[in-house]
Structure 1
Amino acid sequence: MEASRTSSKQLKLFHLENPLSVRLGAEFFRALPAVPGVYFFYGQAGELLYIGQSSDLRARIGSYRHVTPEKNPKRTLRLVHRIVRIEWEECATPVNAIALEAKLLLEHRPPFNRAGVWQGEPWWLKIEASSNKVLLELTREESGTGPHPAGFRYVVGSLVRCACRVFQPQASLSTYPHGVFNASVPLILSLPLPDAPVVAAQLKSYAEGLHEPFLSKLEEMPLGATALEQEYWQEELERLRKYASKIRKLGEAKVEAVASK
């Protein structure tokens, strides 16, 4: 009986240990340089899985050792379990790292990267409000906020779904506007929401780069009653966070590039 209990504990400990720590060892992560650069994750057959960039390679790559089912989406968990080799390329500045990542993403289009793997026309987002309705329109014409990157249409989907959740928390998912759960949301969306001018102002602020007010409201919301709900809303929040982080980094890179001239 005692042997069985010991075995059970060992299995639990093994389950909790991050696969990257097991495969690569703590020394590998301690030896990573704390400098700007681009990193590459490879799978068992040598295939390139993911490309990322950071102003601190040691901190960013090391963070993947702390990925857990409670905090991260399944996509990230699947990525971590497939990584067997990590490489990196140091860059002189964070600006250089951002530029190199953008170039390599278009060249290689790794399967675990979503943003930046193809270059399309930019989007513009128009937001209007009446007393009880918010109207959003995604367009290629220069009108409203923009320009936004080609993948912004997917961000708008998460933004709209999360807005419905934040500003009408008691509403059933079945009452959400038609098409809002499609991978590519309709280009024109009408959202019947209370306090529509307030909602429109929050969405416009996010679209203009002032992400924190809306993200703060979203982070205050409980993730859901079931594991499936929690996973879904965690992924939505993660998508909006990543987009906000990307836009912030691009803004910092532009400022640094201008200052260095």
Structure 2
Amino acid sequence: MPESPVITRSKQPGLFSLENVLTQRFGRDFFLNLPELPGVYFFTDRTDKLLYIGQSASLRGRLGSYRHVVEGRHPRRTLRLVARIHRIDWEICESPACAIARESELLLQHRPPFNRAGVWIGQPWWLDGGVVSGRLRLQVQRQQGEIGPLSPGFRHLFGVLARCVYRAACPDTPIHRYPCGLIRPSAPLSLSLVLPDPAWAWQTLASAARGDAADLLALLDAIPPAASLPEQEFWTDQRDQLQSYAAKATRVLLPPSALAPDPSLLPLELSL
């Protein structure tokens, strides 16, 4: 009689777990019962140290998106943040605009270590763009350009704007077919994109960069939801960030005098 085959089992049972650390720590019902209302939220570690402050037009949608943070698709900084979260609190606001204003106030007051934008005033950015050889070409730079001066946090919102414009221009293109630089968490400072109508794309992106994103938001809302839940939550997060950016329109375009940081508002020394 032949010997029975030897069955080897993985020594890493958690490797194939479909639940990330937040689902395991808080449970699915915690995220399902979050309010679908605008507000600010707070992440705290096991020692009650405040790690991060954020805001959203829908607390349930934004906080739920953190359940899908995985290695390889998100920055290591975000992975470290999620691993350290042991308490989640929130504060409901009257409107998305009120949530944005409240977040700005709290960021300057507390300066959590995992927040980058909004905790100090840094060097502004400028945006240049246009159609070159049938492509949409975009450049974010420190020297004076066509649109600006823009807030120091614009560097991290540039990728969101470019992705949203690309999706509005190519709604049938799945995200895995996007140009490599466009799907990085932090898009390169220079992008060259092939689009059906690059002139329209530049006008739309330029308007959104100036704070007028109504047309772009309407186009995004008209696109059918993505097939998978993680992709739906990804695009909800991108739209959420775009809407938040547009709501900050009066603070996005800085006055021309804001070309150097105030020494009294330089970043604090932080150890993560």
1:165: which partner in 2?
Answer: 167
User: Which of 129, 132, 154 is the matching residue for 2:131?
Assistant: 129
Determine what percentage of the aligned residue pairs are the same residue. Answer: 34
Code of the aligned partner of 1:208: R
- In the alignment, the residues of structure 1 paired with residue 191 and residue 170 of structure 2 have an alpha-carbon distance, to the nearest angstrom, of 16
Q: CA deviation at 1:151?
A: 2.1
1:201: which partner in 2?
Answer: 203
Q: Are residue 104 (structure 1) and residue 109 (structure 2) matched?
A: yes
User: Which of 185, 188, 196 is the matching residue for 2:187?
Assistant: 185
Alignment of 1:46-195 (within 5 A): 46-51=48-53, 64=59, 67=60, 72-74=64-66, 82-83=87-88, 100-101=105-106, 103-105=108-110, 108-111=111-114, 113-130=115-132, 132-195=134-197
Q: CA deviation at 1:75?
A: 6.8
Q: Is the contact between residue 135 and residue 190 of structure 1 (CA under 8 Å) also seen in structure 2? A: yes
Code of the aligned partner of 1:103: L
Q: Is the contact between residue 20 and residue 83 of structure 1 (CA under 8 Å) also seen in structure 2? A: no
Q: CA RMSD in A?
A: 4.1
Q: CA deviation at 1:41?
A: 6.5
Q: Is the contact between residue 177 and residue 190 of structure 1 (CA under 8 Å) also seen in structure 2? A: no
Q: CA deviation at 1:117?
A: 3.1
Alignment of 1:192-231 (within 5 A): 192-231=194-233
Q: Deviations over 1:38-91 (max 9, x none)?
A: 9977555321244479xxxxxx9xx75xx258x9522799799723697xxxxx
Q: CA deviation at 1:235?
A: 1.7
Deviates more, 1:41-50 or 1:130-139: 41-50
- In the alignment, the residues of structure 2 paired with residue 159 and residue 198 of structure 1 have an alpha-carbon distance, to the nearest angstrom, of 14
1:35: which partner in 2?
Answer: none
Q: Are residue 242 (structure 1) and residue 232 (structure 2) matched?
A: no
TM (norm. structure 2) is 0.59
Q: Is the contact between residue 109 and residue 118 of structure 1 (CA under 8 Å) also seen in structure 2? A: no
- In the alignment, the residues of structure 2 paired with residue 20 and residue 199 of structure 1 have an alpha-carbon distance, to the nearest angstrom, of 38
1:194/1:84 Cα in 2 relative to 1: closer, same or farther (>3 Å)?
closer
- In the alignment, the residues of structure 2 paired with residue 20 and residue 172 of structure 1 have an alpha-carbon distance, to the nearest angstrom, of 30
1:50/1:213 Cα in 2 relative to 1: closer, same or farther (>3 Å)?
same
Q: Deviations over 1:161-205 (max 9, x none)?
A: 222221112234454334122233222211111121111111110
Q: Is the contact between residue 43 and residue 84 of structure 1 (CA under 8 Å) also seen in structure 2? A: no
Q: Is the contact between residue 122 and residue 148 of structure 1 (CA under 8 Å) also seen in structure 2? A: yes
Instruction: Specify every segment of 5 or more residues in structure 2 that has no aligned partner in the other structure, as ranges.
Output: 1-26, 35-39, 70-81, 92-98, 256-272
Matched residue count: 203
Q: CA deviation at 1:140?
A: 0.7
Q: Deviations over 1:116-159 (max 9, x none)?
A: 13543111001212584211111111111111122212211111
Code of the aligned partner of 2:155: R
SS in structure 2 opposite 1:179? helix
TM (norm. structure 1) is 0.61
- In the alignment, the residues of structure 1 paired with residue 131 and residue 191 of structure 2 have an alpha-carbon distance, to the nearest angstrom, of 12
Please state which structure has a larger fraction of its residues in helix: 1
- In the alignment, the residues of structure 2 paired with residue 20 and residue 146 of structure 1 have an alpha-carbon distance, to the nearest angstrom, of 41
Q: CA deviation at 1:223?
A: 2.9
2:264: which partner in 1?
Answer: none
- In the alignment, the residues of structure 2 paired with residue 201 and residue 121 of structure 1 have an alpha-carbon distance, to the nearest angstrom, of 25
Q: Is the contact between residue 51 and residue 110 of structure 1 (CA under 8 Å) also seen in structure 2? A: no
Which is bigger in relative contact order (C-alpha 8 A, separation at least 6)?
2
Q: Deviations over 1:17-47 (max 9, x none)?
A: 66998xxxxxxxxxxxxxxxx9977555321
- In the alignment, the residues of structure 1 paired with residue 46 and residue 209 of structure 2 have an alpha-carbon distance, to the nearest angstrom, of 39
SS in structure 2 opposite 1:197? helix
